[in-house]
Every structure is written in C-alpha cells, then in structure tokens.
Structure 1
Amino acid sequence: MTAPGEAARRKPARRPTIKDIARRAGVSESAVSFALNDRPGVSPRTRARVRQVAEELGWQANSAARALSGERAGATGLVLARPARTLGVESFFLQLVSGIQEVLSTRRTALLFQVVEDLDTECALYRRWWAERRVDGVLVVDPRTDDPRPALLTALALPAVVIGGPAIPARPPLSTVWADDAGAMARILDHLHGLGHRRIVHVAGLPGLAHTERRIRSLRTEAALRGLDERQVRSVTTDYSDAEGAEATRRVLDAAEPPTAIIYDNDVMAVAGASVAAGRGIPVPGELSVVAWDDSALCRVTHPRLTALVRDTPGFGRLAARELLTVLDGGPARSVEGELPRLEARESTGPCPSR
C-alpha cells in the first residue's frame, strides 16, 4: 500500500494560473491579464509586481490560448520530406538547425521540427498547423523544380522563408535565402581542370530538387566553358545516402573510360566513394581525385583528408531564421544570398594521372 506522503510526492505539480498570480500579487485577474499581455490599464508598479510574481511561480502563457486570442503561437515550423535513413550521418541539417535555433531562442520562439515521408504529407501538415494555429510561420527546405508548397503557403497566408531558392514562383513571392551553387561549382571545376582532369563525374543528390538541378546545369555550363563535353563530364543522381553514393561510384568506375575525378554532393557519399576506390586498389589521389560538396569532420578525419567546399552552415541557418523573424514582424519578401563557399584543397585531389 502506498503511504499518503509518497502519493503526494508522486502527484504531478499543478501549473500556476492567472488566478494564482492575482491571489499572490493582491490584484484582480483582469489586472494580471493586462500586465502580462502588455496592455494599458495598470500602473508600471503593478505591471512589475505581477511579472515578478509570475516569474516566481514559473508561469508560462498557454500557446494555444494565445493563438486563439489572435496572438502569436511562439513557434515556427520546419518539415523535412526525405527518407529518414538518409539523415543519420549527414551533418548539414544538424548544423542548419543549430543556427536556426540560435536565432529563434533570442525571441523565445520554439522550433517545431518534423520528418515526413513525402511532399503530400508535408503539405497536409502545413494545413493542420495552420488550422490549429500551431506555428507563426515556417522555414521551407529542399525547394523542388515543380513545387506545390509556395502556392499552398500563399493561399493559407502562412508566413514562410524558402531555404535554398533563389526563386520559386508564388504570388506574392516568398522570401528566400540561397547560396550560389553555380559559383561554387565553378570553383570546383577551376581546381580540377587546373590539375589536368578532363573526365569528371558529379555524383549528385535527389533528382527534382532545385539545387540538384542547378548544380547539374552549372557543371555542364562550366565544363563547356573549358571545352569539355557531356561525354567527358556528367552527373548521376542518388538519394544522398552512403549506400547509393557507393553504388554510383562502382558504376562509374566500371565504365570503359572511368573518371579521373569525382565530385560528391555531400560528405557522406564522398567518404563512401573514397572507400570504394580504396577497396578496388585505386589510390586517392594518385589515380582518382575526390571532392565533397559539404565539409564536415568526416572529410577531415578520413585518410586522405578530402578536398571540400567549406561554408558556414550554422550561419546559413541563422540567416534564414532572421529573415523569417523579419517577415513575421511585417517585413517585405526578399531574396537574400548567403556567403559563397570556398574550396579547401586537401590530400584527396592531385594531378590527373597520365592515362
């Protein structure tokens, strides 16, 4: 049998209410409401007293009640429609979220993050969040070449910032933050072409993503500027996972004229590809140069260390979060460019072999 004292200890603590604050502060409940919601009707002294008591009691506003009264929910949403298995070791989104959260925390704004199976589920989630007033706005990632989300968010009048634009059709336009993929690809091609490489394969990410298509187009453009055609320089798409990165590497190395350099769209695939080469006795960079689009600890601890594009991913997240807060404060839709990544040459790239 449970002792009375033990039962009391196990009883969950009751959340403080406006009535509790009013009782301790010696004021009316309406005065507490005015003070906590920054409304006129109470003196500065009463406002300060009420807020002090609320803090002592650990009172927090109910976000659902605030939303129903027309106030902000105090949360923003971020949905990722990708296979969950591809996120386990990829550092990009963790760094992006850390930057986003760093900015949102300064405004005591929560980040509601969810992974879903596909774009239809993501759109359904936006509709539910809007109906339930769960979020004040959303950050949209992985823009598509044919994307239904801008029109939906515009119809819902749900404030949004698209990460990875630069532009998705919408009326009115949505704010975007983006990086110059064409400029980044030019830096990689400059490096490899300067080392004498003429057979280059780009192991890209998911087809249909706007940034995947931009990188593929940029590769073709930059190759043509250097006198190279599609027989020498080409792209293959994957799901960003180490498994598909490794399989794509095997296929291109089995070609009649295998590449002398491979560009991978993330760090995980680059490490997997370098491992495939090592397993086949192909020295990196003696016979094959490897470049990772995203830098991470994986690139720096692998032997040889991988040449990679270095960018401030948390800073990119901070930029997106600041832009969303600006939109929520009534700012206009804008297109904001992030910092151009720099290429850090390490031991995985070297002169083209004479073959």
Structure 2
Amino acid sequence: MSKYSILFFLVMFMIGTDTFLISPLLPTLQAEYGVSTGIAGWMIGAYTLGSALFALISGPLSDGWNRRTVMICGLIGFSVSTALCGFADSFWMMLLFRFLAGVSAAFTAPQVWASIPAVMPPARIARTMGIAFGGLAAAQALGVPIGSWLAAADWPVPFWSIGAAALLLAGLAFLLLPDMKPSGQTPVSILSRYTPLMKSGKARSGYLAYLLLHLGSGTAMAFMGKWLADRFELSVGSIGTVMMALGFGTLVGSIISSAVTRKLGNTRTVTAGMLLLVLLYLFGPHIVQLPAAAMVYFIIFTVLGVIFPLVMGLLTALNASIRGTISSLANSTMNGANTLGAWLAGLLYVHLNGYVSIGIFSAVCILLSLGTFRLGGLLASTDTTARQQSESA
C-alpha cells in the first residue's frame, strides 16, 4: 500500500468518523443543552447541510487552485471547527461549529477523489479509490463505537480527539503530497466549471444514475434500525452491534472492488452487482430469522462497497481538468439523495406496509439506476480503458 493510499484512507476515515460521531452523543448533548429530540437532530443536520451546500462551490474553486493547499487548509479548518465543538456552551454555538466542520469537510473530501488520478499511475487508480472509500466504510462501522468510547470520559473528548488527529493529518499531507496546480488555465467562474458537465449527456446520465443509487441505498439504510427493533425486538445496543457488523461489509467490498472490476470489467461488475441488490432488497424485509437477515444485508453492504468506488472513479474520469467540481457535485448528490431517502423512508414505513415498501422502493431505484448507467454510456466507454490498465498492472 502506497503512502498516498494510507493518507487518503486516513483522511476519509477521519471525516467519516466525524460524520457518525455525534449519533451516540445526541442524548447527552440534548440533556446538556436542554433541547427537544426533534431540535437535537439539527446537530447532525447542520454538518450535512454545510457539507452539501459548500461542496457545490468548493469543487469549482479547487480546480483553479493547488489541490495540495486546498486539502491542507480544509484539514486545518476541520481540525479547528471540530475541536471547538468540544467548547460549545450552547446549542446554537454547537450548530455553528458543526456547520463549519461540514464546510471544512466539503473542501477536504472532494480533494481526495480529485487527487487520486493526479498522483497515482492509471493502473492503480481503481485500487486507491477502493482504499479511500474503505476509510469511509471503516468509519461507518467504527464511528459510533469510537464516539461512545471516547465520550465515556466526558462528552467533549471525542471532538477534541478528532480535532487533534485531523491536525496531524494536515501535517502528514504537507509532508507527503506534491503540488497539484492547474495547468496554465485562465480563471473562470464557478458556473463555468459546471458547463462541461451540463453539456455532456454522459455526465448528466451518470449523475442521475448516481443519485438513484444513493436514493435506493439511503432509503433502505435510514429505517434499518427501526426495522431491526420492530422485527427482531433488538435493543439499541444490539442494533448498534448489527450495524457495525454491516459496516464491515462495506469495508470488505471497497477492498475487493478493484480486483472484482479487473476480473469482470465495469459493465458486468455494475450490472451483476445491481441486479443482486434488486433481489436482496426485495427479499430482505421478509426474513424472519436475525442471522439470515444479517447475512443478506451484509451482502448488500459488501456489493455497495464494490460499486461505490467504481462509480466514483468513472465520474472523476469524465474530465481531468475539473475533477474537484466532479467530486464535489457527487458529494452533494449523495447528501441530497440520503436526505431525501430518510424523509421518504419515514413515509413509506408508516403508511405503506413498513419495511417491505422500503425494500420495493430501493429495488426500483437500483433498477432505474442500472438502466440509466447502461443507456447513458458511462460504463461501456470506460471498459476498454479498464482492460488496458489491468494489462499494464
């Protein structure tokens, strides 16, 4: 594993951990600030809102700057804003610092995806994408328990710990990353950066397919905990254990993603994976035994771990000169889809036959995503490149 792969894994793990960190702290912070359960949820929403909004401008801006500088500054801002959360003495101050942490993440995470093709040889891009996504997957599995363990001493400790770790990563990025400056481009407006994507039918279909993919997976994820509690009468602690195990499925998928893609090619990997997802999303809600249900959703998470870094690699390959814009738009698309999915999941679960309707909705979204990917040409046009990279590896 190269030094860049390790760095990118750690950056994504740190950002992902901060994303999931506040979930186990919500009851404590709710009591600390004396707010209702509904309002307390904004401590999570403030972070995702800052990330989603500023990702739309961070990408185009970074395409005209040195990516190394942008990533280092983003990590420093992330470190400071996250550490300040530990000093927040009011609910509104916590919202402000969480929003700023999300803004900093919006300037940091897209640089990882945009930097990988710039610093890695073509034959190793897919593998490094999988490793970086593995950082997010590991955070999904370990973010909640890490937050709980650190908070055992006092609730500010997790924020201070992640802030300090992010600062160390900024120093590591300063030492390891080369300059990644734009190649003599004249300054252009933010909107102009998006013009090539808006004009490209392949890009439009690719982002629509990416939106549908996250809408399907995000809707299923949003109420999985509720379903586990209702279906199998699990406690909160038991649900956390199951979700942590499923998170390791995503990590496994991201690790094997490049090997699977080299073996099958982009089109067959995405097609086979998504068709399997459709079947499992339809079948999963009907399972009556917890071990069988856990196995089915572990497979789902593993398949998603294979597909997500592959699709991100295909998107960043659309236009080498605007990789930051591409990555940031993908980040906003993901956050928007997950937000919409959480809202739809509540409606479906309450009004339309519980988790069964969510499974049907997710399956339809995945099937539409697959059709959009195949008709849009994003998969087929890159299979030749993938074979060439595999042969040169």
TM range (shorter): under 0.3
- Larger radius of gyration between Structure 1 and Structure 2: 1
Larger strand share, 1 or 2: 1
TM-score by length of 1: 0.25
TM-score by length of 2: 0.23
